[in-house]
């Protein structure tokens, strides 16, 4: 008779650290950790022993000292007596301005080009593929420089607008394209303009609620309310009504030629326009590809199924194709926005004062605090990136197909 | 019977009618135009608008290209020759082509980078086209050393010593790999480092055996610099990217943690900030007195940058493989390195090819960013020495157009290759 015995108690041997899969991963991780710590302590040790860093010290006190340089585009007031910190904040705002403008323009361009590339019109489809290929295959820096040269070299100087028979004239007598930038009218807010704004916001909210009500009514009772024309009416009528009733409280200040330059209005500098257009057109080409891929990813069976249910073509697009295509399009779209924001750091090549130009450019050169400046710069971009990818993850989870 | 039939029916055709030609609007060019250009009102409007746009662009571009001046010594001479007519001043390309392509590389040595460039195609051929004989891969392995010797010059002993170090490492690796992959890998690395350390005594800087005149790194510029940065950084970042992707998928928390931190950090910051690091900050973290070339520092940062992006692409490939493939490897009794090398990676890399090519094209385009930290690559040459010179101040379109064209040819070529490769590797039936 055999009796069952307990399995032999294996004693731990040192060789098991390498040969036993249960312990081997600990060995590897331990070695990796040691190596990484050794590498970083070597780097930090070098930094501590570095003569430049030893004499200067490392600290962020320089942020509160006077900057001593001017910034040509100031979303908030800034003069050369203000601190480096304020200069950096102005830079951050300039980055966000160009990124925001660029993202909107790129989306519009990209969606139009992506849809037209699938058009059954031969010449339009070809033109769009030429646009996409030309811009995807040439560095964005070259495009920025090309558009910047157009802005500064090809456009006329303010002098050309002078005289009775000027060589150049303003567009609609309101917009002047000069080699010092584009001058556009500036809105002037007088008493009562707040009321106009509030009316506008309220009417947008009203449109939103009206559409929800119409959908609810449709699902509950099957009655179809008109949505498009009432929305348009709600968008324009109340705001315009208040605007004229209050006696046109929002006016425009037109730019005009005074002395050697234009005065009044808003001066949009060539560097901003170059950066904005180049980033928008370049990123638009990538977005066009994403849009095309998203629409093509929806199988033809979906269109046919919707058609066999009796839906009309525009309803097929709105209710069946687009909701599914957006699921495919939006994640790469958001990463294109991220790329655009990061590429906006190329502003330094055309002298647009974004955060790379202020904090990573002039502040760095003036104070010589390379380590701190670049650390802050990376931190800023990292924050934006992580925030956007966080938003993207939330979105991805919310639209994920719930299978099984 | 036939009589009665003949009298009741007036006429019966006995032969088939000749097939009529289709209506004129349904054949040939007219049909094509109707279907593809004027199928609806909207399409007709779009077509007319597009034709107008193309016409407008051509009237701008054609005279500019056709009237171009190719033979002049300065922009003033160009303008005199044009005499008010529209035309490009392409003479700047004819006169400064050597700066645009080679930077300040010594003129009598142009054959060296040219030869390296030609050899590059020979070296890439067996990698790119799998139907070529596999023996050619030996040439690919030798290429980096030959190319380094050709471009930078100096004694041939330096690259040979480096090469022999790799050979020694490989020999040790192939002896030990039967026991375990990790042991072979570590043994190979140790053997190579030992060899390089030992060879340091034999090979000295001024060894003149089979020596080409040395060229300073700062003299390397123009499009050549873009190509060198692109090729070197991409080749080095591929293995790094694979390692990072495997690290991110790994079940070991510490390895995974560091891989994730590295990848997310690099992907979160723009390349320019990394180039700033290479330019001004990296020196703080190196031993005092060490003197790295700027080009080497830039290569390190661009390689790290590219490897993070490649890691994400390959991670996508790894995630796209069905779990069954991993389980199949385990059930065959393969260990981690075997199942990765033999089962997972070949499939995952195949899926990732389009993504890797996208990264490659993006990386190649991004090499122009080095002009921001005052290196004289193609864009840096245009913006710096050429546009700033009194002779050519103002020749924007010709120079930028040339740069754009050069990049377009290379990047478009790469993406066309990738589409061809995708079709080749397609194993499913569609």
| List of long-range contacts for B355-360, beta carbons under 8 Å, 24+ apart | B355/B313, B355/B314, B355/B316, B355/B317, B356/B238, B356/B310, B356/B313, B356/B314, B357/B414, B357/B415, B357/B417, B357/B418, B358/B313, B359/B234, B359/B306, B359/B309, B359/B310, B359/B313, B360/B230, B360/B234, B360/B414
Q: Check residue B350 and give its pLDDT.
A: 84
Largest Cα–Cα separation, chain A? 122
Residue A260 and residue A254: Cα distance in Å, rounded? 17
Contact state of A381 with B268 under an 8 Å Cβ cutoff: yes
Of the candidates A143, A275, A384, which has an alpha carbon nearest to the alpha carbon of residue B267? A384
Q: Based on DSSP, count helices (H) and strands (E) in chain A, helices before strands.
A: 15, 7
Backbone angles phi, psi at A185, to 5 degrees: -60, 150
B contacts of A381 (beta carbons < 8 Å): 268-270, 273
DSSP helix/strand/coil, B355: helix
A184 to chain B, any CB pair closer than 8 A? The answer is: no
A49 to chain B, any CB pair closer than 8 A? The answer is: yes
Measure B25 CA to nearest chain A CA, in Å.
Answer: 18
Radius of gyration, CA atoms only, chain A: 30
Question: Closest partner residue to A124 among B46, B394, B403, by Cβ?
Answer: B46
pTM of the model: 0.85
Sequence-separated (6 or more) residues with CB below 8 Å from residue A39? none
User: What are the tokens at A140?
Assistant: 């964005």
User: What are the tokens at B427?
Assistant: 């194993």
Per-residue confidence band for B206, with pLDDT thresholds at 50, 70 and 90: low
A contacts of B280 (beta carbons < 8 Å): 364, 370, 374
DSSP helix/strand/coil, A262: strand
Residues 364-383 of B with CB under 8 A from A: 365-366, 368-369, 371-372, 379, 383
A contacts of B253 (beta carbons < 8 Å): 29
B contacts of A377 (beta carbons < 8 Å): 273, 276
Average pLDDT rounded to a whole number, residues B418-427: 80
Contact state of B379 with A385 under an 8 Å Cβ cutoff: no
* Class of A60-156+272-404 in CATH: mainly alpha
Question: Closest partner residue to A374 among B37, B267, B277, by Cβ?
Answer: B277
Measure A107 CA to nearest chain B CA, in Å.
Answer: 20
pLDDT tens, chain A, 404 aa long: 556 666 666 677 777 776 677 787 888 888 889 999 999 999 888 888 887 777 777 778 888 888 788 888 777 888 878 888 888 898 999 999 999 999 999 999 999 898 888 887 888 899 999 999 999 999 999 999 999 888 888 777 777 776 666 666 666 667 778 777 788 777 777 777 788 888 889 999 998 998 899 888 888 888 877 888 888 888 888 888 888 877 777 777 777 777 667 777 777 888 888 899 999 999 999 999 999 888 888 888 998 999 999 988 778 878 888 888 888 888 888 889 999 999 999 988 888 888 888 888 888 888 888 888 899 999 999 999 888 888 888 887 887 766 55
Residue A102 and residue A346: Cα distance in Å, rounded? 13
B contacts of A371 (beta carbons < 8 Å): 281, 284
CA B367 to chain centre: 11
Contact state of A28 with B255 under an 8 Å Cβ cutoff: yes
Report the share of chain B in percent with pLDDT over 90: 22
ipTM: 0.86
pLDDT in tens, B12-49: 888 888 888 888 777 788 888 887 788 778 888 888 99
What's chain B's average pLDDT? 85
Number of other residues whose CB lies within 10 A of the CB of residue B201: 7
Domains of chain B, by residue range, sit at 24-62, 93-105+220-430
Of the candidates B217, B220, B173, which has an alpha carbon nearest to the alpha carbon of residue B192? B173
pLDDT in tens, B152-177: 887 777 788 888 888 888 888 888 87
Separation in Å, CA A27 to CA B64, B182, B242: 68, 12, 22
Of the candidates B334, B340, B261, B352, which has an alpha carbon nearest to the alpha carbon of residue B304? B261
Report the share of chain B in percent with pLDDT over 70: 95
A153 to chain B, any CB pair closer than 8 A? The answer is: yes
Residue B192 and residue B171: Cα distance in Å, rounded? 10
Question: Closest partner residue to B37 among A50, A123, A385, by Cβ?
Answer: A123
- Packing angle, helices A322-343 and A84-117, rounded to 10: 140
DSSP helix/strand/coil, A184: strand
A contacts of B365 (beta carbons < 8 Å): 137-140
| Inter-residue contact A344 to A279 (CB < 8 Å) | yes
pLDDT in tens, B58-104: 998 888 888 888 888 888 888 888 877 777 888 888 888 888 888 88
* Class of B93-105+220-430 in CATH: mainly alpha
A contacts of B284 (beta carbons < 8 Å): 46-47, 50, 52-53, 370-371
Q: What is the DSSP string of B47-113?
A: HHHHHHHHHHHHHHHHHHHHT---S-SSHHHHHHHHTTS----THHHHHHHHHHHHBT--GGGTHHH
Contact state of B272 with A356 under an 8 Å Cβ cutoff: yes
Contact state of B285 with A51 under an 8 Å Cβ cutoff: no
Domains of chain A, by residue range, sit at 60-156+272-404
């Amino acid at each position: 008779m055999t009796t069952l015995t307990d399995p032999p108690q294996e004693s731990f041997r040192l060789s098991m650290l390498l040969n036993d899969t249960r312990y081997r991963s600990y060995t590897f991780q331990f070695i990796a950790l040691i190596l990484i710590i050794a590498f970083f302590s070597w780097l930090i040790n070098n930094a501590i022993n570095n003569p430049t860093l030893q004499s200067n010290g490392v600290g962020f006190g320089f942020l509160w000292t006077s900057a001593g340089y001017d910034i040509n585009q100031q979303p908030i007031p800034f003069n050369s007596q203000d601190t480096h910190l304020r200069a950096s904040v102005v830079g951050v705002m300039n980055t966000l301005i160009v990124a925001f403008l660029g993202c909107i323009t790129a989306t519009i361009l990209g969606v139009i080009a992506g849809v037209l590339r699938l058009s059954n019109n031969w010449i339009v489809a070809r033109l769009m593929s030429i646009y996409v290929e030309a811009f995807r295959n040439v560095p964005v820096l070259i495009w920025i420089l090309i558009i910047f040269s157009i802005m500064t070299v090809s456009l006329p100087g303010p002098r050309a607008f002078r005289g009775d028979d000027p060589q150049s004239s303003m567009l609609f007598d309101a917009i002047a394209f000069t080699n010092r930038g584009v001058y556009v009218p500036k809105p002037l807010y007088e008493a009562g303009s707040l009321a106009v704004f509030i009316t506008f916001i309220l009417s947008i909210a009203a449109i939103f609620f009206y559409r929800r009500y119409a959908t609810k009514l449709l699902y509950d009772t099957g009655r179809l309310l008109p949505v498009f024309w009432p929305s348009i009416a709600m968008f324009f009528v109340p705001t315009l009504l208040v605007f004229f009733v209050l006696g046109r409280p929002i006016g425009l200040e037109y730019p005009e030629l005074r002395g050697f330059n234009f005065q009044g209005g808003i001066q949009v500098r060539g560097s901003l326009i170059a950066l904005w257009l180049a980033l928008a057109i370049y990123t638009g080409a990538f977005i066009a590809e994403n849009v095309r891929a998203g629409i093509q990813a929806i199988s033809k069976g979906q269109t046919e199924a919707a058609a066999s249910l009796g839906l009309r073509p525009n309803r097929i697009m709105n209710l069946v194709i687009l909701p599914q295509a957006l699921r495919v399009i939006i994640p790469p779209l958001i990463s294109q926005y991220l790329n655009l924001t990061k590429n906006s750091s190329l502003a330094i090549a055309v002298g647009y004062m974004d955060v790379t130009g202020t904090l990573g450019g002039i502040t760095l050169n003036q104070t010589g605090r390379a380590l701190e400046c670049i650390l802050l710069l990376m931190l800023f971009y990292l924050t934006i990136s992580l925030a956007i990818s966080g938003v993207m993850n939330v979105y991805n989870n919310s639209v994920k197909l719930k299978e099984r | 019977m036939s009589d009665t039939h003949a009298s009741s029916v007036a006429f019966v055709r006995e032969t088939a009618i000749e097939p009529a030609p289709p209506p004129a609007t349904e054949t040939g060019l007219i049909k094509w135009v109707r279907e593809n250009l004027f199928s609806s009102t909207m399409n007709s409007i779009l077509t007319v608008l597009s034709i107008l746009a193309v016409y407008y662009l051509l009237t701008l571009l054609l005279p500019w290209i056709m009237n171009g001046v190719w033979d002049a010594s300065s922009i003033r001479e160009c303008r005199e020759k044009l005499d008010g007519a529209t035309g490009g001043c392409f003479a700047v390309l004819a006169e400064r082509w050597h700066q645009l392509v080679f930077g300040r590389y010594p003129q009598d040595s142009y054959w060296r980078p040219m030869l390296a460039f030609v050899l590059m195609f020979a070296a890439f051929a067996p990698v790119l086209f799998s139907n070529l004989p596999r023996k050619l891969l030996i040439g690919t392995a030798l290429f980096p050393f030959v190319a380094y010797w050709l471009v930078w010059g100096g004694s041939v002993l330096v690259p040979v010593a480096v090469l022999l170090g790799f050979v020694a490492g490989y020999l040790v690796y192939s002896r030990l790999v039967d026991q375990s992959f990790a042991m072979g890998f570590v043994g190979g690395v140790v053997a190579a480092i030992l060899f390089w350390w030992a060879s340091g005594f034999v090979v000295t800087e001024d060894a003149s055996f089979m020596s080409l005149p040395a060229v300073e790194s700062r003299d390397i510029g123009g499009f050549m610099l873009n190509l060198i940065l692109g090729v070197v950084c991409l080749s080095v970042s591929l293995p790094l990217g694979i390692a990072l992707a495997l690290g991110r998928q790994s079940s070991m928390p510490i390895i995974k943690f560091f891989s994730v931190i590295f990848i997310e950090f690099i992907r979160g910051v723009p390349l320019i900030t990394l180039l700033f690091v290479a330019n001004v900050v990296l020196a703080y973290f190196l031993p005092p007195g060490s003197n790295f070339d700027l080009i080497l520092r830039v290569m390190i940062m661009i390689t790290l940058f590219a490897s993070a992006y490649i890691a994400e692409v390959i991670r996508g490939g790894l995630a796209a493989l069905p779990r069954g493939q991993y389980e199949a490897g385990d059930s065959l009794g393969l260990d981690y390195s075997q199942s990765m090398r033999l089962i997972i990676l070949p499939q995952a890399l195949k899926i990732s090819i389009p993504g890797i090519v996208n990264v490659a094209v993006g990386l190649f385009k991004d090499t122009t960013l080095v002009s921001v930290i005052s290196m004289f690559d193609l864009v840096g040459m245009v913006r710096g020495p050429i546009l700033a010179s009194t002779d050519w101040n103002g020749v924007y379109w010709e120079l930028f157009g040339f740069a754009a064209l050069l990049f377009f040819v290379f990047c478009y070529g790469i993406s066309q290759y990738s589409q061809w490769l995708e079709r080749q590797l397609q194993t499913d039936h569609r």
